[in-house]
Chains A and B, each alone.
Chain A
Amino acid sequence: MASTKVTFEVPAELRELMKRYPEVNWSAVFRDALVRHSRLIEAARGILAEDEDRRILELSRELKRGTAERDRRAQHARRR
């Protein structure tokens, strides 16, 4: 997978802490955190979209049925 460089600004205290543990691959730590957080956002968006779609579908079904019923009743009334 192609990679690209991203620069982050962190508080000075955090930078000092990172320097205290040079054996840690901080880049990998950041990358993993970003991946986890991005997946959470994607999942939340997906759930919201699905819920909205379900509500649209249900409301649509109700409206379609109700509108048709009114039209049929008007049609019967005209023919009587």
Chain B
Amino acid sequence: MRVVVDASVVAASLVDPGGWTARELARTDVQWFAPQFLREELEENATRLSGFAGCSREAFLRRVRSLTHVELVSPEDLAAAEDHPLVAKAATVDPDDVTYLKAVVAVRADYLWTRDEGLLRAFPGLAVLVVPE
């Protein structure tokens, strides 16, 4: 199964690295994907973003680097997906979600795992909210 994770899921795993979301992201029976831009944002703004996660910059970067099972979707692959209808639809819902839909198209993902209500409503069946059993 191929799953793209969005900012909300990555944020949950960074705020609580021992929590359920972080443990799910360590599963090896699922192929996880996220846009490379997300990783760049995390690393280049670690000082500012670590405040949201409630930890030091160093601890934050350790948490980011522990997401080893999440494969990054390159800017080139994202660009190749920009004319897809799913991407066009995302632009009408929230332009800031476009990158994640590009990633879905680029890697032919089965699901987009998100906590974002807008995405869940706009893409039923594709965007899913996974909750602990």
A binds B: yes
Residue ranges of A at the interface with B (Cβ–Cβ < 8 Å)? 52, 55-68, 70-71, 74-75, 78
A-B Cβ contacts below 8 A, count: 79
Chain B interface, >50% SS class: helix
List 8 A-B residue pairs with CB atoms under 8 Å apart, sorted by A's residue number.
A55-B53, A60-B11, A60-B12, A61-B7, A63-B42, A64-B7, A67-B99, A71-B99
Known A55-B52, A59-B15; judge A70-B115 contact (CB<8 A).
no
CB of B62, distance to nearest CB on chain A (Å): 16
CB of B29, distance to nearest CB on chain A (Å): 25
Among A59, A70, A71, A75, the residue within 8 A (CB) of B52 is: A59
Residue ranges of B at the interface with A (Cβ–Cβ < 8 Å)? 6-8, 10-12, 14-16, 35, 37-38, 40-42, 45, 48-49, 52-54, 75, 78-79, 82, 95-99, 102, 115-116
Within the assembled complex, what's the spacing in Å between the Cα atoms of A74 and B35?
13
CB of B117, distance to nearest CB on chain A (Å): 11
Among B7, B35, B82, the residue within 8 A (CB) of A75 is: B82
Q: Which residue of B lies closest to A58 (CB)?
A: B52
Among B7, B35, B78, the residue within 8 A (CB) of A60 is: B7
Among A55, A56, A65, A74, the residue within 8 A (CB) of B96 is: A65
User: Does the CB pair A66–B41 fall under 8 Å?
Assistant: yes
Residues of A within 8 A of B14 (CB): 59
User: Does the CB pair A71–B102 fall under 8 Å?
Assistant: yes
Residues of B within 8 A of A78 (CB): 79
User: Does the CB pair B37–A70 fall under 8 Å?
Assistant: yes
User: Does the CB pair B98–A68 fall under 8 Å?
Assistant: yes
Within the assembled complex, what's the spacing in Å between the Cα atoms of A68 and B6?
11
Known A55-B52, A56-B11; judge A74-B95 contact (CB<8 A).
no
Other 20 A-B pairs with CB < 8 A, given A57-B8, A63-B11, A78-B79: A52-B16, A55-B54, A56-B115, A58-B52, A59-B7, A60-B12, A63-B41, A64-B6, A64-B7, A64-B8, A64-B116, A66-B37, A67-B96, A68-B95, A68-B96, A68-B98, A70-B40, A71-B102, A75-B79, A75-B82
